[in-house]
A and B are shown apart, each in its own frame.
Chain A
């Protein structure tokens, strides 16, 4: 989802450096493929022995995306440790190889090649931005790997080699808009986002739904990633007086937007206009400051404040493992589901073989998920509930609404190409 703020000079500089680094990496890869030997302990050609199975973790722990991806790495490691403590998968302990995508999409591709060809990992948990997923997708399809992707994203994709553990756009957006129309009587919407694929697709879906309900979109605006001055658009919003600001601003821009919204005299707790966001999790609030976003609503599948027992245990374990001050956002929880869904699929298949795991995946259910209960759909996305949270000054969300039923994932909604 969030391609974080990257002014062009930074990107170009980093890419240059990556190219330099790619040379030795390529040489190492070539050596590796010469010396790689077939694992004898199994028939699938994966890194599985009688005692262990190796998986990969592929996120950015350096570069601009490290802000967001750190939580996912922590969640995936926690899940793997918990599974190992329970005896592992098919009697084998999970070992992981962690690679750093370094917030650079070609690096993601390079590293995924390494994880699949050299390390022969049985599954990879990773990627965060849509750009990084798109970069590794052809590699996972070519070498038949299995990727568990945690971020809520724009949809319009379905690969046999990816399980999407976050929500696709329609799951997140439609329920949010329905709620704000029904409960708050919203009649007009101002759509505001950062300028790249996820906000644009999300707003397209939102606009279509709003217009179908016979309501009004009073404005639709995009700002470049990393934009830090929102006073003009805030004035424009004041002029148009929408009932709802539907915000999908990301990264550093988020912090600037909410701080300036508050400074411009818009008190979000008065809900005039009401702010409904799909991009601010508890993680982002850390940077924004709870007092600057208090009163805004978010539409997501998971909030740290969920009170079911699964989540209580999850939050407790997470804090014990990673520190008591840590917060858990929607994507972190989705990342936590990855290793568990893979374990369930492997056990159902009775094999680590990718094709068998893929065949076993649809219908897999997880009753222990922190978000409550999830089930894998035929289309490799998850059935999940959507919740509305109200941001509090302490940086947590108070859950004010939850859909009654699980929402079916619909990555290819009618009318979008």
Chain B
């Protein structure tokens, strides 16, 4: 029961965070939407910050579960790398997509010493290191450079899709990623 309540509150908060932004979502708004007492919220989460960090972690878990399912289907490292990038780009193209949580969080919390900022930085680094290790397996020399470039493509597409939906950004980004992977070899 206790974990159910915790999950429920986190679910309500996550919806609000991703749809209207983290800073714009007050604790009062979460309490009102979940229809619970404020005391109940603080029983499960010490602070709003803890709620934000949990939200980011859960988001990250879900993202990686989805992505590792995609790469598991591929044979060699090059197709794994392409499939990973394509899967992220497809997700961006989904009409339900509201921006990557960690990217939005790092924009909302620009102070580098802030725990939320640091957590989102960690997530960005996980993405980069996953891309880098796949790139390394394909046998290219500048695996880190390619990984960073592909991460930039993913992030840039997320921003472009959010602001100018329907300009074909996802398809162009896939072609761009392909050129980068090809020319790194």
Tell me, yes or no, whether A binds B.
Answer: no
